[in-house]
Each structure stands twice: as structure tokens, then as C-alpha cells.
Amino acid sequence: MSARRTFRLPDPGEGLMEAEIVRWLAEPGESIELDQPIVEIETAKALLELPSPYAGRVETWHVQAGQTLAVGEPLVTILTAEDDEPAVEGASAGPTPTAEPVTGSPLSDSTQAVAPVQPMLVGYGATAATTATAGGAWSAFVTRSTGERTMDDARPAEPMRRVPTDAADFGTADQVRVPLRGVLGQMAIAMTTSARDAAHASMWRSVDMTEVMNAVRGVPGLSPLVLIARGLVHAAAAHPAINAQWTGDGAIVVHRSVGLGVAVASPRGLVVPVVRQADQCDVATLSGAMRQLVQRARAGTLTVSDLAGGTITVTNVGSLGAEGASPILKPGEAAILAVGRVCRRPWVVGEGDREHVAIRDVVQLTLTVDHRMVDGALAATVLGALIDYLLDEAPGDVARLTAAP
């Protein structure tokens, strides 16, 4: 005998309650294996392939490519062999597991305890209890073969081109219409919301980076951005009032651990993957984590959890040739640092009779804050602490890195 199983869109958490169907990977009538990728979807944060929770034959698509589906709505019906799976919608999803703190690498794990998550059976839609997830990973859903699973099991898909990048992309058309969906739509909403709601205030300082640049030139693959980011993280950890988020419900949440967001211009739009527990990273660990996140962002292989847990952000406008910028805050966060291009500039060095003008490597650092949470004194203190790290500690950190066995 056979049984019909309906695979519904699981709850992604992080406030994401829908996804766009990009393309189907299995046609109606086609046989599929358990865990075989069946559909490519795009949320506002990630482009993913969903594996099938059942082996059998695809019977019906419930939505077409290009359409948007809400959490809990049916994706596809699969004709399977008779098994022990529950076949009545609304069946109990089982006991609620106990919440435990999660620890691990700065790329994939959160350090905060999470609210209990009620597992959701595939085919039975979302319940109110399935929205709290660790690190933004999709809520648990159950299969016969592996038991509890998270959306991290979904494999990243190839990146989608959303806007023309050169004249050839237009073909014979004079213009193209680009729907504001997925990452592009989320970017538009986030930036508009932040610009409207947050009280943006910026201050900047120029910094002599000569000693830092001399140090990093001796370490292949080490970017001065890593040391600037490390300085920002140390300053935020020392002055946690800037490592805060606006909740919108009459409170501010101040974080002990620093989740460093790294703004990346990806082919799909602006994304901000996060190095969790960045305040616990040494130079080598932070460098490796940032490099991997940037590579995955540009390849379109970030997961939902890669984009969760940020508390403060750095954006490198210098990589685009800009000497400075006044960035827009990530919604809810208290601060973002813009890093300009390192330029050769005349600079006064020395003191007293030894004072003179020399050509030095100089960078402009701009700290934008939400003035609802951060006053000018705190912003100046944090910026000063960052610069003190660059001038006094960063060259030594690089020296210890090169001296390590």
C-alpha cells in the first residue's frame, strides 16, 4: 500500500515567516530518495535546497517557482510506501526538549541559552512554540531516518542574480524589472526601517596605521581589517553599553558576548554574517572566521544561522575605494563602524624638537551610533579605545601570531 505525505514549509525562526520558491529539483511523477534535494527556496536571509523528508514519488507541487509560501503551507505531496508515520494532520508533535546553552565555533554556534523549542513534524505546519531557535537555525522537524533535524541540513544553493551587473545582462531589453524579494527586499526594508526609526549620529577619526600595515605585510592573508575589527570588539567588550540592541518594547538589551557582524556586498545584495563570541577570538581565529564568512557570502552559501546573533557591525568601504562613509545602522543595533581605504598621507610625527612631517599610512574610521542608546561621550570613548588598541596592541598581536609555532 502507499500513503500520501504532505511536506509543509517549516518555520525558519528569526521572524522569517515565508520563503520564495526558486526552482523545483524534482518533477511530478519523479521518484526521489530520502534526503534528496527537492526544492530550492530563498528566505530573506539565505538561499537553500530543502531535502525531502520522505522517499517515494512526487505527486503534486502545491506552489510554482516564483511564488511565495507562508510557513506551514504545503510545498509538495509525495506518494510513499505505507509506514509508521502519522497521517492525521494536527497530531501531537511530541514532548518539548529542555533548553540548554549552546557553545562552539564562532561561525556556527550561539552562546546563549534559548527558549524551549517544540519539534514540528513534517507535514503538520508550524505551531506557536516553533519560533524560538538557537542561533537562528530553523526549528526542529522530524524524519524517520534521522529523528530531530534543523534547517542547517538544507544544503546551500547556487547564488541568484537579482540585478544586471553589466550591459550584456539586458539582452535585447532596454530595461528590466527586478522584484524586491529575498535578500534584496530584506535589505530595502531593513535600511528604510533603520533610517526612519534610529537616531543616527556619526563621529570619525583619522588613524596612523603605519605600524599596523608594516606588521600585516609580513603575514600572508592577514588583512588590516581584522585588526580594526578586533579593536572594535575589544572596545565593545570593555564598554558594553554600546554592545546593545533596541527592542522596541521599552527596553534596551545589553549583551555580554560580542557578535561581530561583517557587512558583505554579495551577488544577492547586502548581507551581514556574524562571528559569534568574537570577543573570545584571537587574531588568527577572527581572521579565519571573517574570511570564511565573506567567501560564503560571495558564493551564496550562507545559512540562516550564519546571519543570526549580531550585536555590532563593521563595514569595509575601503575595499570599494572609498576613503570614508557614514553607514546606516543594522536595525536594532547600537553601533556600526565604517572602515575607509588606507591612504598615504602627510602626517605630523614625533614631539617637541623632533616633530616633523612624514608620509604615513592613514585610515578614516567612522562610528555611527543610535543616539537613543549611545550618547556622544560613550561613542567617543569607544572610538578612542579602538584606536588605542591599533596604536598600542595590534602590532604586538601580529608579532605573537608570527612567532607562534
Cα-Cα-Cα-Cα torsion 319, 179, 194, 307, nearest 10 degrees, comes to -60
Among the listed residues 375, 388, 392, 397, the single catalytic one is 375
CA distance 139 to 102: 15
Closest C-alpha to 273, from 303, 307, 250: 307
Give φ, ψ of 142 to 5 degrees.
-110, 140
CA distance 49 to 225: 33
Among the listed residues 62, 197, 371, 388, the single catalytic one is 371
The three-state DSSP-derived secondary structure of 191-254 is: HHHHHHHCCEEEEEEEEECHHHHHHHCCCCCCCHHHHHHHHHHHHHHHCHHHCEEECCCCCEEE
Cell of 200: 543616527
Cell of 78: 509525495
Closest C-alpha to 301, from 4, 64, 42, 104: 42
Strand pairing category for 312-316 and 260-266: parallel
Instruction: Tell me, yes or no, if 375 is annotated catalytic.
Output: yes
Instruction: Tell me, yes or no, if 62 is annotated catalytic.
Output: no
Catalytic positions are 371, 375
